[in-house]
Structure 1
Amino acid sequence: MADPTEPAPGSAADGKTDDIDEADLALKGINMLLNNGFKESDELFRLHRNSSPLMSFGASFVSFLTAMMTFEEEKMQTAYDDLKATERLCERENIGVIETLKNKIKRSTDSQRCGLAAVDRLQRQIIVADCQVYLAVLAFIKQELSSYIKGGWVLRKAWKMYNKCYSDITHLQEGRRRRASEQRAAPPPSDASKRSSSPSPRPDAVAGEALDRLKGAVSFGYGLFHLCISMVPPHLLKIVNLLGFPGDRLQGLSALECASESKDMKAPLATLCLLNTV
């Protein structure tokens, strides 16, 4: 007979462990990839591809790198199909508009669930933006006018998504810091209130760790956009800026540094980018 104190499979406690393992597993796969373990990394991501959008993106990223190294038409088509599959997975499982409105209405009574839903939504949006960037690169490689137009349009969509997610995560982090400072400034509860009140869960601790990882995840793409656009020749930079692509080198480097210090799977990639800019 199972111990009643143990969490059942699929329970909230079990899901929390899965989330932590998922992020660690994705980071492990990228580290394998960068340490000449290309085959092992591919096998790891493929094995867990259907377990979560994050692992699905990892498998698609390895497929994209394979296409970039070989330039074989078959590999490029495989990478395209994998990226589109990951994109569909994230969009299909995203919270709908009606569900989002319901969550906002219930925020006062179920703030923890709303917080987890917001983190999951942001994670999926960042993955979709990452997929769109790589799809745009695959389009540019075709060197056709229609592909350039399509790739530019997809890049514009990705940038808008990065910018929104970066702003949303920064806003959530500032709100957490503000609440934490207010709690520290509040007078300590009396002995009577301590005895009468029961200990309440602290979802902010979990949400804070998740937000820090998400900030690193979005900072990689956000920083790369700023850094790459800032390298455009000055006589073309104004035109690019008019199209809605900013290019602040310092902000890009700052975002990449934030990504490199995070626990996200793209942290090692951000570190490589920073090393190449020195």
Structure 2
Amino acid sequence: MRFKFFLSLWSVTSFCSRQMSLQSCLDECMEALDLFLNNHFSESLDKLRPRAKESMYHALIYATVLEMQAMMTFQHDDIVHAGKTMKSAQEVCQRPSPQLHAEVCYAECLLHRAALTFLQDENMVSFIKGGIKVRNSYLIYKELHAFVQSDTTFRGPNHKHLEGGVSFGIGAFNLTLSLFPARILKLLEFAGFSGDKEFGISQLFTGATSHTLRSMLCALLLLCFYTFLSFILGNIQAVTWGLHWGAIFLFFAGRAEEIKGNIDEAVALFEDGCKAQQAWKQFHHMCYWELMWCFTFKRHWKMAYFYADLLSQESRWSKAMYVYMKAAYLSMLPDTESQPFGDNEVDLFRQVPTYKQKIAGKSPPTEKFAIRKARRYKASNPIRLPVPVLEMMYMWNGFSMISKQPELTEGMMEMLLEAERTLQAAPENEYSVDDTCVILLLKGLCLKNQGQMQAADDCFRQIYSSEKKLKFDHYLVPNALLEMSLLYIDTGRKEQAIKLLQKAKNNYKEYSMESRTQFRVHAALTKLKADTSEQDEITAL
């Protein structure tokens, strides 16, 4: 295997070039990263570029910065360029050098190339190639981790950077794999992969707080987990220390305030993030997306529309989603209020399917959902969606965001009650049951936020009892079961919660946003299992 071959060649021969030592290379790359974190993006690349053909660390960090840019711009040319640069970096890592450092850089290049491969092409061959890279990277990291843990004879001045690289790889694999639903995880375990969430977090936390070359990557991965996947903010300050006050930090600081329900504070931070730099507009797009939701939570529809419109003009990530949201915001305005920019909600809904795209050969689930919801506007006299903004807000976990601010939940409830009255007063049509159940799901979430658990339970149960009457929005039933189970967890009815989660997991397939729902079901079951294990240990004592 490559790793054993490299170990047999272990030496302290010249690292970057005859002119630069290992220490000098690491110091210069750290300076480049510091420039990047403080919004000096061009200067960062300028510092890395001259030695990217001779120093593996310069090559790796240079390619990593280009990869981050490509993932934000989503431009095909940028993705291809980043992939070629990462491949060149991998080749630099294979030259004679301090071999353990070369090996961890090689594994990291493989991991990055796999991510870019999945983004670049849309065929099965690309997935196979990417999968091979992922597996090879994983095996190298495993052996490196075992070696670093067992061999304590070498602890030179740059060893912390080696350990930081291993912490990043092992942490990234363990955390990411642990998040997959059980049926996928079993297949991955059969292929030799394994994932331990707590171990992954501990490895990334160690890497993030060790002030090494990979601290930024470890911190960013943890911040993504804390602020987008788990909504747990306990360690967020500890992992952001290295990000200073650059645009990246401001974005995640804003996200943290948003999760806490401090919407005004979040808006200020996102706006500061936009002002912090002008070189990479893609950072602005990340902030625009969050600002759109912040103003949604406050029911400032025209401001939310403004940011959806900016995204539709500037961002390539999901124009179908942005146009759908523009139409949705217009639908929330009273008929007597003027329409921004002269747009018309019906025309915009009809445009949504024309912006459908594919990422790694598949359309994003949120785009599929938006396109399905917009279909009813094809009719010459379309039946309007009752609360499209709030429905999409649910898909992005918005109701948990507002749960800590009673006035925000109260405002949403008022809108839902008005939509319910309008629906009941209208003639019955083919969408009536589905629309009623959408409102019931969102009402249930508001009632839960308000502590009215029995009333919330009643809403979710009404959806379940309407299962056979639903014609279009089949996602509602498994999500109602999920929300009912989360309500039961909060009220101490764990056995009932497990039964509902198992039902949601096993009895429903091929509905809108299925992967998102299954992810939440998996997370809830995992938490219940962990809580049960802890309780058993306490009982045993």
TM-score by length of 1: 0.70
1:152 aligns with 2:131: yes
SS at match of 1:208: coil
Which residue in the other structure is 1:75 paired with? 78
How many equivalent residue pairs? 212
Q: Where does 1:122-141 land on structure 2 (aligned, <5 Å)?
A: 122-141=100-119
Return the alpha-carbon distance in structure 2 between the equivalents of residues 41 and 59 of structure 1. 8
Which residue in the other structure is 1:106 paired with? none
Residue 271 (structure 1) aligned to one of 198, 219, 236: 219
CA contact (8 A) 1:23 1:265 kept: yes
Return the alpha-carbon distance in structure 2 between the equivalents of residues 40 and 61 of structure 1. 15
Following superposition, the deviation at residue 248 of structure 1 comes to 0.3
Following superposition, the deviation at residue 265 of structure 1 comes to 1.3
Q: Which amino acid aligns with 2:63?
A: S
SS at match of 2:187: helix
Return the alpha-carbon distance in structure 1 between the equivalents of residues 63 and 25 of structure 2. 16
Following superposition, the deviation at residue 256 of structure 1 comes to 0.6
Return the alpha-carbon distance in structure 2 between the equivalents of residues 219 and 59 of structure 1. 20
CA contact (8 A) 1:223 1:256 kept: yes
Return the alpha-carbon distance in structure 2 between the equivalents of residues 123 and 16 of structure 1. 18
SS at match of 2:156: helix
Provide closer, same or farther for how the CA distance between residues 16 and 219 of structure 1 changes in structure 2, counting only shifts above 3 A: farther
Return the alpha-carbon distance in structure 1 between the equivalents of residues 221 and 59 of structure 2. 23
| Higher relative contact order (CA closer than 8 Å, sequence separation 6+) | 1
Residue 146 (structure 2) aligned to one of 157, 167, 184: 167
Following superposition, the deviation at residue 73 of structure 1 comes to 2.2
Return the alpha-carbon distance in structure 2 between the equivalents of residues 65 and 19 of structure 1. 25
CA RMSD of aligned residues (A): 2.5
Which residue in the other structure is 1:38 paired with? 41
- Percent identity between the aligned chains? 28
TM-score by length of 2: 0.37
Which residue in the other structure is 2:203 paired with? 255
Residue 166 (structure 2) aligned to one of 214, 218, 230: 218
Return the alpha-carbon distance in structure 1 between the equivalents of residues 60 and 188 of structure 2. 29
Return the alpha-carbon distance in structure 1 between the equivalents of residues 159 and 112 of structure 2. 24
Following superposition, the deviation at residue 21 of structure 1 comes to 2.5
Q: Which amino acid aligns with 1:65?
A: M
CA shift digits 1:180-235 (9 cap, x unpaired): xxxxxxxxxxxxxxxxxxxxxxxx6xx33322221111110110000000000122
CA contact (8 A) 1:42 1:59 kept: yes
CA contact (8 A) 2:53 2:92 kept: no
Following superposition, the deviation at residue 65 of structure 1 comes to 1.6
Following superposition, the deviation at residue 57 of structure 1 comes to 0.9
Which residue in the other structure is 1:184 paired with? none
Return the alpha-carbon distance in structure 2 between the equivalents of residues 17 and 71 of structure 1. 35
SS at match of 2:210: coil
Return the alpha-carbon distance in structure 1 between the equivalents of residues 193 and 71 of structure 2. 24
SS at match of 2:192: coil
CA contact (8 A) 1:27 1:263 kept: no
Q: Quick check: which has more Rg, 1 or 2? A: 2
Provide closer, same or farther for how the CA distance between residues 64 and 17 of structure 1 changes in structure 2, counting only shifts above 3 A: closer
Q: Which amino acid aligns with 2:117?
A: A
Residue 91 (structure 2) aligned to one of 74, 77, 88: 88
Provide closer, same or farther for how the CA distance between residues 254 and 11 of structure 1 changes in structure 2, counting only shifts above 3 A: closer
CA shift digits 1:148-200 (9 cap, x unpaired): 11111110000001111111122223xx3xxxxxxxxxxxxxxxxxxxxxxxx
SS at match of 1:245: coil
Extract unaligned runs of 5+ from structure 2: 1-12, 227-231, 233-541
Following superposition, the deviation at residue 143 of structure 1 comes to 2.7
Between 236-245 and 148-157, report the one with greater CA deviation: 236-245
Which residue in the other structure is 1:47 paired with? 50
SS at match of 1:64: helix
SS at match of 2:42: helix
Return the alpha-carbon distance in structure 1 between the equivalents of residues 141 and 14 of structure 2. 32
CA contact (8 A) 1:130 1:158 kept: yes
Which residue in the other structure is 2:318 paired with? none
Extract unaligned runs of 5+ from structure 1: 1-9, 95-119, 177-203
Q: Which amino acid aligns with 2:48?
A: F
Provide closer, same or farther for how the CA distance between residues 29 and 11 of structure 1 changes in structure 2, counting only shifts above 3 A: closer
CA contact (8 A) 1:30 1:266 kept: no
Q: Which amino acid aligns with 2:173?
A: F
Following superposition, the deviation at residue 55 of structure 1 comes to 0.8
